[in-house]
């Protein structure tokens, strides 16, 4: 019985954490809304990305590539490649959440960095599930609200380039990348990828350097894993 | 633009759903588990480089590099996400005025 229920103090703590994470992601959604409008997407497209794609790095990459003149399909490719990590989060969550029927497609939408971190940090399965849904709902609400506000404000500015917003995507990528660089190997991979991208760029069509890098890093990862 | 937006949303949703739906052992392979997290690291780094040091297919060094330098400092100081982005944008905007 006890394992099916979340105790009151537990649930309060989870809701408090979920709200804090929601507010923090809402703040950075402001910058997503602003960058997306500056990149040339309209208000509805910007909000559609936050509501339907709902995974930060992919959203920033799509509008960043479009804004830098890389073309929309290169942006789609990059967003998809960046979204691949969510498949692994889903695998970790699948056994924890034990989803059936209609809940699986609904839960899929909430499979992101924040919900995964909150869910796997719990000791009990019931608390994990509660944390997953509470965080998902909180982040979804604040993420879309932040996007809308950021987009509306930027929409009202005649030329957002004056604010340097067109140059902001690399800072956003860096802020997303930094927490993943806590060991020597990812740092080396990041530097190598940056160099390969810059070297390839003048010689191949837009979007291709990123695909080449994704293939190279995958081959490296698979080869290294072999006993 | 709409087609790209909707296809990208569909792809990203599909990747999440696939992780919940595919047989667990496919994606629990240790090599897959170790490789997939490296993809965002490489791609984000490549995006930083190409969108800071290039315009179209031409390599250029301009005020965006200074914006990135400010972002690096902000990240090292453990500034929140929004502060990192705003600081980089503001630095770029100010340098363009000079």
* pLDDT tens digits for range B45-68: 999 999 999 988 889 999 999 999
Largest CA distance in chain A: 63
Q: Does A96 touch chain B (CB under 8 A)?
A: no
pTM: 0.92
pLDDT higher at B3 or A159: B3
Q: Does A83 touch chain B (CB under 8 A)?
A: yes
Q: How many angstroms separate the CA of residue B29 from the nearest CA in chain A?
A: 10
| Cβ separation A174–B8 shorter than 8 A | no
Which residue on chain B is closest to A28 by alpha carbon? B82
| Cβ separation A76–B89 shorter than 8 A | no
Which residue from A148, A123, A122, A124 is spatially nearest to A135, judged by alpha carbons?
A: A122
Query: ipTM of the assembly?
Result: 0.94
- Kindly state the DSSP code that residue A181 receives in the 8-state scheme: -
Q: Which residues in chain A touch residue B65, judged by CB atoms under 8 angstroms apart?
A: none
Over pLDDT 90: what percentage of chain A? 77
Q: How far apart are the first and last CA of chain A?
A: 44
Closest partner residue to B13 (CB to CB) among A109, A173, A209 is: A109
Over pLDDT 90: what percentage of chain B? 79
Q: Does A80 touch chain B (CB under 8 A)?
A: yes
Mean pLDDT of B11-23: 93
| Cβ separation B43–A78 shorter than 8 A | yes
Lowest-confidence region among A3-12, A95-104, A151-160, B70-79 = A3-12
Q: Which residues in chain A touch residue B54, judged by CB atoms under 8 angstroms apart?
A: 68, 198, 201
Residues B91, A164 contacting (CB under 8 angstroms): yes
pLDDT single digits (tens) A186-218: 999 999 999 999 999 999 887 889 999 999 999
Lowest-confidence region among A82-86, A183-187, B23-27 = B23-27
| Cβ separation B39–A190 shorter than 8 A | no
- Kindly state the DSSP code that residue A157 receives in the 8-state scheme: S
Lowest-confidence region among A5-9, A84-88, B82-86 = A5-9
**H/E element holding B59?**
strand B58-59
Q: Does A209 touch chain B (CB under 8 A)?
A: yes
Question: What is the reported pLDDT for A1?
Answer: 40
Asked whether the predicted pLDDT for residue A124 surpasses 60, the reply is: yes
pLDDT single digits (tens) A66-111: 999 889 999 999 999 999 999 999 998 988 888 887 889 999 999 9
Q: How far apart are CA B1 and CA A191, in angstroms?
A: 32
Mean pLDDT of A149-157: 96
**Any idea where the domains of chain B sit in the sequence?**
1-36, 41-98
């Amino acid at each position: 019985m006890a394992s099916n229920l979340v105790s009151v103090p537990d649930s309060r703590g989870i809701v408090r954490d979920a709200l804090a994470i929601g507010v923090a992601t809402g703040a950075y959604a402001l910058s997503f809304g602003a960058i997306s409008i500056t990149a040339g997407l309209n208000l509805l497209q910007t909000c559609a990305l936050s509501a339907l794609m709902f995974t930060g790095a992919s959203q920033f990459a799509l509008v960043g590539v479009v804004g830098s003149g890389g073309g929309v399909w290169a942006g789609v490719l990059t967003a998809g490649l960046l979204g691949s990590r969510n498949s692994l989060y889903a695998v970790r969550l699948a056994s924890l959440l034990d989803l059936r029927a209609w809940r699986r497609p609904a839960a899929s939408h909430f499979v992101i960095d924040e919900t995964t971190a909150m869910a796997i940090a719990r000791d009990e399965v019931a608390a994990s599930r509660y944390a997953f849904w509470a965080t998902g709902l909180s982040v979804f609400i604040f993420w879309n609200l932040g996007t809308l506000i950021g987009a509306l404000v930027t929409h009202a500015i005649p030329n957002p380039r004056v604010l340097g917003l067109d140059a902001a995507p690399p800072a956003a990528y860096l802020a997303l990348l930094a927490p993943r660089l806590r060991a020597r190997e990812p740092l080396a991979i990041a530097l190598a990828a940056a160099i390969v991208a810059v070297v390839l760029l003048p010689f191949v069509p837009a979007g291709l350097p990123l695909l080449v890098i994704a293939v190279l890093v995958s081959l490296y990862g698979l080869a290294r894993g072999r006993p | 633009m709409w087609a790209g937006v909707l296809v990208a949303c569909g792809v990203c949703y599909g990747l999440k759903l696939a992780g919940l739906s595919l047989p667990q052992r496919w994606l629990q392979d240790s090599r897959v588990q170790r490789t997939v997290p490296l993809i965002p690291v490489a791609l984000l780094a490549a995006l930083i480089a190409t969108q800071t040091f290039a315009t179209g297919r031409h390599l250029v060094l301009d005020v965006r590099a200074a914006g990135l330098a400010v972002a690096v400092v902000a990240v090292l100081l453990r500034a929140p996400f929004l502060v990192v982005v705003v600081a980089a944008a503001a630095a770029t905007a100010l340098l363009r005025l000079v």
